[in-house]
């Protein structure tokens, strides 16, 4: 039975503890006396919006999905949803087939690909963001076909694509999380969707109607009514002040990367779906300057949340526990007996020292 010790993020707060591991699970968590400069241990990060990384795009087949899982695992992500962007229907279907194949033969030392976040094609042409214009109205028969190819856990949906809300209601009844996003709908429409099955918001503040005191938009409806919302804390997509406002208003705000193939890569030019993108510093943009996903990792997201004032325990909740609960994954996102031994070991500067996936170290103590 293996053991880890350090300052451990638990539901009761940060505590000096020893974690016993057995057969890929946490056997016990016991209080311990640990040196003041010991490591910090948090639950493995969970990313519910990840398009790629390490130069790979999940749209490009099973090998690209596995490479993405390897890339993000090295930065502490232990579970992710492979996220499909808007594309022609046959390309979406091929991407789903590739993701399913990757799930059947997971990358050794890679994050667990738990399923799919379908970010398109059921979005608004007026709020494409960096997505190509292959939008279509919500189609339940097409969605059923998509579900034959791979497990879809989350669907981003514009209200305009589903005017009556029937598509969202049917999917929600089957346990699929529906998120309002890439939409120009007004406050009243958004508020009604939150009351009738829409679970959350895709990258809050981005690609949606903003908050104005006489026209609160989707952002205002989310702040007033939503229980969950994903948010990209690269400190470029959303100002720290807006992040803190969201954290006060929405109980279940959780961090995502919206990572592009440029995540984990040097500055330069990359392909993202059908688009050319350029990474420069912290930003990833189309030729016209539009933000095109991010180069974020979940480890960087964690550090950024701490940098704007969140405690280590709260940052851990926002990068792991809340996302796990949102998908109903009771055995992840927490350090407690019986949970999967998905853990991230950090030094005092919050740099990743090691990552354990189902109890297996994938970095062997080498800092990243």
DSSP character for 124? Answer: -
Q: Are 104 and 157 in contact (CB under 8 A)?
A: no
* Active-site pick, 258, 325, 342, 354: 258
Burial classification of residue 143, based on how many CB atoms lie within 10 Å of its CB (0-12 exposed, 13-18 middle, 19 or more buried) = middle
Cβ-Cβ contacts under 8 Å for 46 (sequence gap 6 or more)? 77, 78, 79, 80, 254, 298, 319, 320, 323, 324, 329, 332, 333
Residue 258 annotated in active site: yes
Count of beta carbons in the 10 Å neighbourhood of residue 139: 16
Residue 341 CA to residue 170 CA, distance in Å, equals 35
Residue reference for tokens 């279907």: 93
Can you say whether the dihedral through the CA atoms of 57, 208, 323, 141 is positive or negative? Answer: negative
For residue 238 the two structure tokens come to 């959303």
- Which of 119, 115, 158, 325 shows the shortest CA–CA distance to 228? 325
* Exposure b/e, 145-175, CB count within 10 A at least 16 = b: ebbebbebbbbbbbbbbbeebebbebbbeee
Q: What does the longest C-alpha to C-alpha distance in the chain come to?
A: 60
Q: Are 163 and 127 in contact (CB under 8 A)?
A: no
Active site residue ranges: 258
């Amino acid at each position: 039975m293996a053991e880890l010790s350090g300052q451990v993020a638990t539901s009761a707060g940060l505590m000096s503890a020893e974690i016993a591991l057995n057969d890929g699970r946490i056997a016990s968590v016991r209080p311990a006396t640990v040196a003041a400069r010991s490591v910090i241990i948090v639950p493995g990060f969970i990313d519910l919006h990840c398009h790629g990384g390490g130069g790979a795009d999940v749209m490009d087949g099973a090998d690209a999905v596995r490479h993405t899982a390897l890339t993000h695992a090295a930065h502490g992500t232990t579970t992710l949803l492979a996220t499909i962007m808007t594309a022609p229907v046959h390309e979406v279907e091929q991407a789903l087939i590739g993701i399913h194949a990757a799930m059947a033969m997971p990358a050794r030392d890679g994050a667990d690909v738990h399923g799919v976040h379908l970010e398109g094609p059921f979005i608004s042409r007026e709020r494409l963001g960096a997505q190509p214009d292959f939008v279509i109205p919500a189609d339940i028969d097409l969605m059923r076909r998509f579900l034959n190819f791979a497990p879809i856990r989350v669907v981003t949906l514009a209200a305009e694509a589903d005017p009556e809300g029937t598509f969202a209601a049917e999917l929600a009844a089957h346990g699929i999380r529906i998120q309002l996003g890439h939409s120009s709908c007004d406050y009243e429409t958004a508020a009604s969707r939150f009351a009738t099955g829409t679970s959350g918001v895709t990258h809050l503040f981005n690609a949606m109607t903003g908050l104005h005191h006489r026209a609160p938009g989707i952002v205002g409806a989310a702040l007033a009514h939503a229980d969950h919302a994903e948010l990209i804390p690269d400190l470029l997509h959303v100002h720290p002040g807006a992040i803190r406002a969201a954290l006060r208003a929405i109980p279940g705000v959780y961090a995502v990367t919206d990572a592009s193939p440029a995540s984990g890569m040097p500055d330069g030019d990359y392909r993202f779906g059908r688009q050319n993108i350029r990474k420069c510093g912290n930003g990833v943009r189309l030729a016209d300057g539009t933000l095109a996903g991010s180069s974020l990792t979940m480890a960087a997201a964690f550090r950024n949340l701490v940098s704007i004032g969140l405690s280590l325990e709260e940052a851990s909740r926002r990068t792991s526990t809340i996302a796990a609960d949102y998908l109903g994954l009771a055995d992840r996102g927490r350090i407690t007996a019986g949970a999967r031994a998905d853990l991230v070991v950090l030094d005092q500067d919050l740099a990743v020292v090691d990552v354990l996936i189902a109890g297996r170290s994938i970095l062997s103590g080498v800092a990243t």
